Amino acid sequence: MSWLNTITDLVERYSGQGGGAASAPQNPHLDYERATQTAPPNVVADGLAQSFRSDRTPPFPEMISHMFGQSDPNQRAGLLNRLLASAGPGVLAALPGLSGLLRGGGALTPEQASQVTPEQARQIAAHAEKQDPSVVDRVSSFYAEHPQVVQALGGLALTVALQHMMRNR
């Protein structure tokens, strides 16, 4: 049985199947949780990437800032390391208070990531996206592994992600 068979009602609601236009979901947070429990990680990541790129949601850097604020230190480090791989470590030198964060090279640790504010994460994300737009896909794959943090994005972003997941099954 495919993952879509287990969530048939979601498919109908988010894809507009079953008789006309899809109605606004009543609880996209619960629906998203349900979908991510059974959907393959690549499907979840594709849905997130669509949400990050949508003109119906806030810009990617703002969404990253919000999720960063809801992430634990390990998740913060994972996110920042993905962003820095695209933006380059030099971006830290341009941000007040972060210039010496990567002394000695290597990846950011959870302890170092805890020194970064959500606003600084937004700035890093904006720079990374300009340098390498495919960073959105890498961040989406990362957060597909952490659906509880994605729930912080709010109903509209989750709805966009779910709609994309269901249409592209």
Say how far apart CA 73 and CA 81 lie, in whole Å.
Answer: 12
DSSP, residue by residue, 52-69 = HH-TTS--HHHHHHHHHH
Give the count of domains, the chain: 1
Tens-digit pLDDT profile for residues 89-118: 778 777 777 777 766 567 889 999 999 999
Tens-digit pLDDT profile for residues 50-85: 999 999 999 999 999 999 999 999 999 999 999 998
- What per-residue confidence (pLDDT) applies to 37? 82
- What per-residue confidence (pLDDT) applies to 35? 78
For residue 3, what are its two tokens?
A: 């993952």
For residue 162, what are its two tokens?
A: 């779910």
DSSP 151: G
Identify the domain containing residue 11 by its residue range: 3-167
Look up the pTM and report it.
Answer: 0.80
